Structure 1
Amino acid sequence: MSSNVSLLHETSRQVLAGGSAGLIEICLMHPLDVVKTRLQVQRSLMDPQSYKSLADCFRMIFRKEGIFGFYKGILPPFLAETPKRAVKFSSFEQYKKLLGYMSLSPELTFAIAGFGSGLTEAIVVNPFEVVKVGLQVNQNTFTEQPSTFAYARQIIKKEGLGLQGLNKGFTATLGRNGIFNMVYFGFYHNVKNVIPSSKDPTLEFLRKFGIGFISGTMGSVFNIPFDVAKSRIQGPQPVPGEIKYRSCLKTIVTVYQEEGILALYKGLLPKVMRLGPGGAVMLLAYEHAYEWLQKHW
């Protein structure tokens, strides 16, 4: 009985620490996520409505939609963030323990546990991602677009709860989150164990922040083709009423054939700008929150 209570207590700490870390990351980085999604869904620079560059995207959103345009779609991540990050970190810890019994090398254990946590996280987050992307690509002013709940009801009414509705883009989300977490956790924990810690608090913070920054950046570079596919599937189709982007791999092939290899890396700069420092912030916030909870709860 005591072991069950201990496991529940430990999982609760992981849930609270993970949720806190995720909320901090969202508040700081959401505008970059909006910009990333806008760049990923546009198909041609020849369209007069298209964004010519990262700076142009920031400028046009601010001019046409105001400062709140950068916070479109923020409610779904807020609602999902506690369960999402809780699943991300707690499932990583549980997969790591499970793999530990299999006598795998630490390097492989961290990577596989990260991949498993990403797949688990994707199951929780995908419906929220569908709603978020739909709100982010809406170019009306903040007050003119539907509310989060109204838009979710609209999707369910028209397309249902399945893979063509509130769970469309599910395989792309699995690929995106699985690959990101595999690189993110695998690199961070392996490198952190190699580079010696420092007794100086400032140097120790910089050590962890630097490793977390590189982890988030590498994860972003490796998983972005799946992220582009996810945005295309979950965003508006090129021809209304006609579904062009449906499955993950077919979408990746279509984008490559029609727009070239670089199209699969659209939105990489704002993604790295968000998930490089955001990944570092999230890992550090999780570790500090978890340590605090261990001491006080």
Structure 2
Amino acid sequence: MSEVKKVLKEGAIQIGSGGSAGFVEVCIMHPLDLVKTRLQIQQGKSFLKSDPKHYTGVFDCLQKMYKQEGITSYWKGIIPPILAETPKRAVKFFTFEQYKQFFLFGSPTPTPLTFALAGFGAGVTEGILVNPFEVVKVTLQSNRGIGKDRPSTWLVTKDIFSKYGFGSQGLFKGVSATVWRNGIFNMVYFGFYHSVKGWSPESKDPLLEFLRKVSIGFTSGVLGSCFNIPFDVAKSRIQGPQPVPNQIKYRTTFSSIAVIYKEEGFLALYKGLLPKVMRLGPGGAIMLVVYDYMHEFLTAEFK
């Protein structure tokens, strides 16, 4: 096989594996992403537990959503992530492999710095591509409508685009926050996973090897979530409904972080951390493990 065909085949395998990983992860973990967004766009330091319009935590949010909006509300806004996650994860894993070659810096083997920088580059690329889907998703997730009052993905997209286009208040609203969020997450996520996986010995037992990869992937997702959560909160505030209609309070990434810190305190920058960790811990494990096994399967199939 020529060198060009080998490169194209490996690229196709990386894209197919990454797309499969993204699709499986979003279908399983989407309800926790929705809870995270609801908690992040909620403003103020404390709320009455009995107030139906506010949530005191993950399980309170899940309970109130079920009672007020029905079980299907857990998957509000899932169409944009499904449309985005498959190509997004495909692009992320594919570009990670390309950035990894770029950041070898002449070394014959990748180092932890190589993995971290490649992860950051892949996250930045991913953030730019996925931002329009994120704007639509956050808009849908912040909506509390039931049945006919619940807007469709297409209507929300059409409304945003007709009013604001691709501008800073349109489908690219909050793009810098999305880039920072994804860049930092993937820097930690890929950097930790590949470094630790390379250091820890492989097991010949398939079950033990599976558990080894799952535990490293889970830890990678948790650490990435802890490091990037302030940027995720800022993104949700920028892309979500503003406190006062027709007045933009949250504009840029770092100014939004400063406003949240000043008005609500340091812990407000970590709103939604529990559902985020609950999603991206196991979600991170699902993605990396599905990617690894799918990559092995496709490589074997297309020798």
TM bracket, shorter-chain basis? over 0.9
* Structure 1 match to 2:47: 46
* Structure 1 match to 2:234: 229
Task: After TM superposition, list the pairs within 5 Å mapping 1:189-208 onto structure 2.
Answer: 189-208=194-213
Residue 218 (1) aligns with residue 223 (2):
yes
Is the Cα–Cα contact under 8 Å of residues 73 and 133 in structure 1 kept in the other structure? yes
Query: Cα distance, 1:2 vs. partner?
Result: 3.1
Distance across 2 between alignment mates of 1:259 and 1:91: 38
Any idea what the Cα deviations from partners look like across 1:243-276, whole Å, max 9, x if unmatched? 1011000000000000000000000000000000
Of 215, 236, 261 in structure 2, the residue corresponding to residue 256 of structure 1 is: 261
Is the Cα–Cα contact under 8 Å of residues 15 and 86 in structure 1 kept in the other structure? yes
Distance across 2 between alignment mates of 1:12 and 1:201: 26
- Residue 247 of structure 2 aligns to a residue whose secondary structure is coil
Is the Cα–Cα contact under 8 Å of residues 15 and 82 in structure 1 kept in the other structure? no
Distance across 1 between alignment mates of 2:76 and 2:181: 22
- Residue 244 of structure 1 aligns to a residue whose secondary structure is coil
Distance across 1 between alignment mates of 2:273 and 2:293: 29
Distance across 2 between alignment mates of 1:193 and 1:95: 18
Unaligned runs of 5+ in 2: none
Query: Cα distance, 1:101 vs. partner?
Result: 4.7
Alpha carbons of 1:53 and 1:101: their partners in 2 closer, same or farther (altered >3 Å)? closer
Alpha carbons of 1:154 and 1:236: their partners in 2 closer, same or farther (altered >3 Å)? same
* Structure 2 match to 1:80: 84
Query: Cα distance, 1:215 vs. partner?
Result: 0.2
- Count of residue pairs the alignment pairs up: 297
Deviates more, 1:150-159 or 1:99-108: 99-108
Residue 293 (1) aligns with residue 298 (2):
yes
Task: After TM superposition, list the pairs within 5 Å mapping 1:172-187 onto structure 2.
Answer: 172-187=177-192
Query: Cα distance, 1:95 vs. partner?
Result: 0.6
Distance across 1 between alignment mates of 2:103 and 2:40: 36
Of 94, 97, 100 in structure 1, the residue corresponding to residue 98 of structure 2 is: 94
Distance across 2 between alignment mates of 1:163 and 1:86: 26
Any idea what the Cα deviations from partners look like across 1:189-219, whole Å, max 9, x if unmatched? 1011111111111111111100000000000
Deviates more, 1:151-160 or 1:29-38: 151-160
- Residue 149 of structure 2 aligns to a residue whose secondary structure is coil
Residue 160 (1) aligns with residue 165 (2):
yes
Deviates more, 1:150-159 or 1:42-51: 42-51
Is the Cα–Cα contact under 8 Å of residues 36 and 271 in structure 1 kept in the other structure? yes
Of 224, 245, 251 in structure 1, the residue corresponding to residue 250 of structure 2 is: 245
Any idea what the Cα deviations from partners look like across 1:136-187, whole Å, max 9, x if unmatched? 0101115422111110010011112112211001000011000000000000
Query: Cα distance, 1:54 vs. partner?
Result: 1.4
**Residue type at the aligned position of 1:76:** P
Unaligned runs of 5+ in 1: none
Distance across 2 between alignment mates of 1:99 and 1:230: 28
Question: Normalization by structure 1: what TM-score?
Answer: 0.97
RMSD of aligned residue pairs (Cα, Å): 1.3
Query: Cα distance, 1:4 vs. partner?
Result: 2.5
Distance across 2 between alignment mates of 1:70 and 1:169: 24
Is the Cα–Cα contact under 8 Å of residues 203 and 209 in structure 2 kept in the other structure? yes
**Residue type at the aligned position of 2:66:** F
Alpha carbons of 1:270 and 1:247: their partners in 2 closer, same or farther (altered >3 Å)? same
Distance across 1 between alignment mates of 2:18 and 2:111: 22
**Residue type at the aligned position of 1:239:** V
Alpha carbons of 1:257 and 1:198: their partners in 2 closer, same or farther (altered >3 Å)? same
Is the Cα–Cα contact under 8 Å of residues 177 and 253 in structure 2 kept in the other structure? yes
Aligned residues with identical type, % of pairs? 59
Alpha carbons of 1:24 and 1:142: their partners in 2 closer, same or farther (altered >3 Å)? farther
